[in-house]
Structure 1
Amino acid sequence: MAHRKLYLGPLTDNRRWDMVDIRADDVFVVTPPKCGTTWMQTIIALLFSGDPEVETELSVKMPWVDIRIREMSEVAARLDAMQHRRSMKSHTPMDGVPLHDRAHYICVFRHPLDAHFSYRKHVRNIPMPWFDVWYPEDDPDGITFRRFLDGGAEGFDTDAMPLAHILQHYKAAAAVADRPNVSLFHYADMTRDLAGTFARLADVLGISHSDSVMHQLVQAASFDNMKANAERFAPSGGKGFMKSDSDFFHSGTSGKWRGALSDADLAAYDAMMDAHLGPKDRAWLEYGSSGTAPA
């Protein structure tokens, strides 16, 4: 931990990374929650295997290392026993993840308001009642959005995903984005061009498949296919962890916050975004490579 920032939350303990022996061909998926983490992990699993029918079993085969739920000794032993190329997940910003010179880091982002509204839906689908403090089911006074804007980037607030934490994720990733082994992806670009996302990621990871295989892999990672086969693709799918595996893949669309926030809410959000990011960075964080909202 000597060269990493400490992130401790109700779910997160990034000191757990100290027990992982990193390999040069490891692939880290580093994202704020609800920004396309599972989608990106699935794409990587498909590219690793070249098999559109592969059983991804992400929570076991590509574990979320910094979550406290599983004993770290067991997670570390499982990772150490893997003979194939490994991938791991983290919701810790890049300044809290061990940065290896040759391992690959895939950082995925989404419009902060889309991520926030997706998280609102997600917390109703998981058995973790402490989220009710931040995300009350009945919220006529708008507590949830106020806490989204007011929450800190670290400490207890970390796992409730306030805007400050998303901004910390983006700044930490952007600070190392000039490294050849760090790549930034955006949910909007994945939605607009999934085949292009596969091609770019395959190039980044040095993976090659025939055009026909790539076409099958892209189809397997489509939103409709993942939702239709939610027990296979959702984290811990088929094990009863979530109330509904299918609801994990709620809609895959963007912009659900439009019409749901007041002018004052949006003005407060704009002020915070503009205080932390320049116009170019803000445009990318919200809309990806297009830099503008879809027509």
Structure 2
Amino acid sequence: MTTRKLYLGPLTDNRRWDMVRIRPDDVFVVTPPKCGTTWMQTIVALLLSGDPDVETELSVKMPWVDIRIREMAEVADRLEAMTHRRSMKSHTPMDGLPLDDQAMYLCVFRHPLDAHFSYRTHVRNIPMSWFDMWYPEDDPDGVTFRRFLDGGAEGFDTDAMPLAHILQHYTAAKALADRPNVALFHYADMKRDLAGTFARVADLLGLSHSDAVMEKLVAAATFDNMKQNADRYAPSGGKGFMKSDSDFFHSGTNGKWHGTLTGAELAAYEAIMDTYLSPEDRAWLEFGSEGVPALS
């Protein structure tokens, strides 16, 4: 941990990575919550298998290493026993992860407000009261959004996904984006061009499938198919981890915050974004490649 930043929250602990022996062909999916984590994991699982009917079982086969729910020794032993190419999930920013020169890091981002509103829905769908203080069900005074803006990037606030944590994720990933094994993706681009996303990930992972197979893999990873088969695609699907596996894939749409936030709330958000990001970085973090004007 001497060269890694400490991210220690009530739910997650990035020191758990100390027990994982990284392999050169490992694939890391690194994201803030609700930014397309499960979607990218599914894309990776489909590409690694080449099978549109593969049982992804993400929580077991592609585990979230940071989370404290499972004993780390058991997770580490399970990972070490895997003989196939491995993939793992993390909600820790890149400056808190073990960096291997050959392992691949796929970092996925989403408009911070879309991620925030998706997280609001998510906390209502988990049968644990971890974040009731941050996300009260009855919130006439806008406590939830104030805490989203005011929360810190580390410590207790980490797991409640405040804006500062999303910005830390982005700046840490962008600082490493010149490495050939660190790639940034955006949820909006994945929605616009899912086939193109599959092609890019396949290229990064050194994988190749026929056009016919790729077409079937892409079809399996559409939002409608994943929602219709939520017990198969949701994290810990069919095991009662969430109140509704189907609701984990709530709508897959963006912009739900339009007309919900007040002018003052939006102004406060915009002030933070403009303070911490350049106009180009803000445009990409919010809207992906379509947010950044093409070079003339």
Partner of 1:271: 271
2:131 aligns to what SS in structure 1? helix
In the alignment, the residues of structure 2 paired with residue 258 and residue 2 of structure 1 have an alpha-carbon distance, to the nearest angstrom, of 43
Partner of 1:185: 185
Q: Which stretches in structure 2 are left out of the alignment for 5+ residues?
A: none
1:130 aligns to what SS in structure 2? coil
Partner of 2:86: 86
Matched, 1:254 2:236: no
CA deviation vs aligned residue, 1:84-139 (integer Å, no higher than 9, x gap): 00000000000000000000000000000000000000000012212100000000
Partner of 1:125: 125
Partner of 2:39: 39
Partner of 1:68: 68
In the alignment, the residues of structure 2 paired with residue 288 and residue 277 of structure 1 have an alpha-carbon distance, to the nearest angstrom, of 14
2:105 aligns to what SS in structure 1? strand
In the alignment, the residues of structure 1 paired with residue 133 and residue 192 of structure 2 have an alpha-carbon distance, to the nearest angstrom, of 35
In the alignment, the residues of structure 2 paired with residue 130 and residue 123 of structure 1 have an alpha-carbon distance, to the nearest angstrom, of 8
Matched, 1:158 2:168: no
In the alignment, the residues of structure 2 paired with residue 124 and residue 242 of structure 1 have an alpha-carbon distance, to the nearest angstrom, of 9
In the alignment, the residues of structure 2 paired with residue 229 and residue 259 of structure 1 have an alpha-carbon distance, to the nearest angstrom, of 32
In the alignment, the residues of structure 1 paired with residue 7 and residue 278 of structure 2 have an alpha-carbon distance, to the nearest angstrom, of 26
Matched, 1:210 2:206: no
Instruction: Rate the CA distance shift 1:142–1:292 in 2: closer, same or farther, 3 A.
Output: farther
CA deviation vs aligned residue, 1:63-95 (integer Å, no higher than 9, x gap): 000000000000000000000000000000000
In the alignment, the residues of structure 2 paired with residue 89 and residue 130 of structure 1 have an alpha-carbon distance, to the nearest angstrom, of 20
CA deviation vs aligned residue, 1:249-283 (integer Å, no higher than 9, x gap): 00000000000000000000000000000000000
1:255 aligns to what SS in structure 2? coil
Instruction: Rate the CA distance shift 1:36–1:15 in 2: closer, same or farther, 3 A.
Output: same
**Which one-letter code corresponds to 2:142 in the other structure?**
G
Partner of 1:235: 235
% same residue: 82
Equivalences, count: 293
In the alignment, the residues of structure 2 paired with residue 17 and residue 250 of structure 1 have an alpha-carbon distance, to the nearest angstrom, of 31
1:133 aligns to what SS in structure 2? coil
In the alignment, the residues of structure 1 paired with residue 270 and residue 228 of structure 2 have an alpha-carbon distance, to the nearest angstrom, of 36
In the alignment, the residues of structure 2 paired with residue 179 and residue 11 of structure 1 have an alpha-carbon distance, to the nearest angstrom, of 30
In the alignment, the residues of structure 2 paired with residue 217 and residue 85 of structure 1 have an alpha-carbon distance, to the nearest angstrom, of 18
Structure-2-length-normalised TM-score? 0.98
Instruction: Rate the CA distance shift 1:292–1:264 in 2: closer, same or farther, 3 A.
Output: farther
Q: 1:12 offset after TM fit, Å?
A: 1.0
Q: 1:178 offset after TM fit, Å?
A: 0.3
1:28 aligns to what SS in structure 2? strand
Partner of 2:200: 200
**Which one-letter code corresponds to 1:10 in the other structure?**
P
In the alignment, the residues of structure 2 paired with residue 127 and residue 246 of structure 1 have an alpha-carbon distance, to the nearest angstrom, of 15
**Which one-letter code corresponds to 1:156 in the other structure?**
F
Q: 1:2 offset after TM fit, Å?
A: 1.1
In the alignment, the residues of structure 2 paired with residue 292 and residue 191 of structure 1 have an alpha-carbon distance, to the nearest angstrom, of 17
Partner of 1:12: 12
Structure-1-length-normalised TM-score? 0.99
**Which one-letter code corresponds to 2:271 in the other structure?**
A
Q: 1:292 offset after TM fit, Å?
A: 6.5
In the alignment, the residues of structure 1 paired with residue 37 and residue 157 of structure 2 have an alpha-carbon distance, to the nearest angstrom, of 20
2:69 aligns to what SS in structure 1? coil
What root-mean-square deviation, in Å, do the aligned CA atoms of Structure 1 and Structure 2 show? 0.9
1:272 aligns to what SS in structure 2? helix
